[in-house]
Amino acid sequence: MTLAEPAATVVPRIVVGITGASGAIYGVRLLQRLRTLGARTHLVVTSAGVLNAHHELDLDRNALEALADEAHPLGDIGACIASGSHPVDAMVIAPCSMRTLASVAHGFGDNLLTRAADVTLKERRRLLLMVRETPFNLAHLRNMTAVTEMGAIVFPPLPAFYHRPQSIAEMVDDTVERVIALLGVGNATPRNWNGL
């Protein structure tokens, strides 16, 4: 009699995009947390995303790319994540600028970030867009409607206050855990509302 082979560990494969919208901390914390959960990450950062990460967090491109398993240049349309044949489970753009939202909504695929988002949608995989702008104009709202109709999830990083967060880091972490749960990565620990 032989013992059954242990089940293979499934490693989640997540594409993370970072754009120039305010809130680079969301992309950074997401990459850090996905690493602790054993996920494999592909990172694409726009030039404005690098600029903003430097301004908000004092991080340069090398520091950002070190947080991912694999980093791809924005112009590398030949990268593995530009094809639906490459196995990826989900994608998140954190934060997502209104320009990137518009590109996804209209199917431009004009750089690796928007091409990867387009691939995610066409393959019916989960796509989360952490849009950052306020107030919204009609173009923003129509683009959010369009991507929602395509199957994406529009997820503005709005903090929950019912847990009485004591710091910005706690608010960011709570939002990141909710995103990870929506991406379908196991062992996420969002703080659930249990009623009053």
Segment 74-103, tens digit of pLDDT: 999 999 999 999 999 999 999 999 999 999
Q: How confident is the model at residue 192 (pLDDT cuts 50, 70, 90)?
A: confident
Element (H, E) at 108: none
On whether the CB atoms of residues 174 and 28 are closer than 8 A, the answer is: no
Residue 33 is assigned to a ligand binding site: no
Residue 125 is assigned to a ligand binding site: no
Q: How confident is the model at residue 2 (pLDDT cuts 50, 70, 90)?
A: low
Six token digits for residue 35: 């690493």
Residue 98 is assigned to a ligand binding site: yes
Q: How far apart are CA 12 and CA 182, in angstroms?
A: 13
Residue 100 is assigned to a ligand binding site: yes
pLDDT in tens, 152-185: 999 999 998 988 999 999 999 999 999 999 999 9
Residue % of the chain over a pLDDT of 90: 87
Residue 29 is assigned to a ligand binding site: no
Residue 20 is assigned to a ligand binding site: yes
Residue 145 is assigned to a ligand binding site: no
Residue 85 is assigned to a ligand binding site: no
pLDDT in tens, 140-156: 999 999 999 999 999 99
Residue 132 is assigned to a ligand binding site: yes
Residue 47 is assigned to a ligand binding site: no
Q: How confident is the model at residue 8 (pLDDT cuts 50, 70, 90)?
A: low
The answer on pLDDT for 119 being more than 70 is: yes
Six token digits for residue 90: 């989900």
- In this prediction, residue 7 carries a pLDDT of 55
- Using CB atoms within 10 Å of the CB of residue 127, give its burial: 0 to 12 exposed, 13 to 18 middle, 19+ buried: buried
Residue 124 is assigned to a ligand binding site: no
- In this prediction, residue 3 carries a pLDDT of 57
Residue 126 pairs in a beta bridge with 90
pLDDT in tens, 17-39: 999 999 999 999 999 999 999 99
The answer on pLDDT for 1 being more than 90 is: no
Q: How confident is the model at residue 196 (pLDDT cuts 50, 70, 90)?
A: confident
On whether the CB atoms of residues 65 and 38 are closer than 8 A, the answer is: no
Domains of the chain are 19-90+104-183 (3.40.50.1950)
Q: How confident is the model at residue 9 (pLDDT cuts 50, 70, 90)?
A: low
**What burial letters (b/e) apply to 89-101, b meaning 16+ CB within 10 Å?**
bbbbbbbbbbebb
| Residue 2 phi, psi dihedral angles, 5° rounding | -110, 150
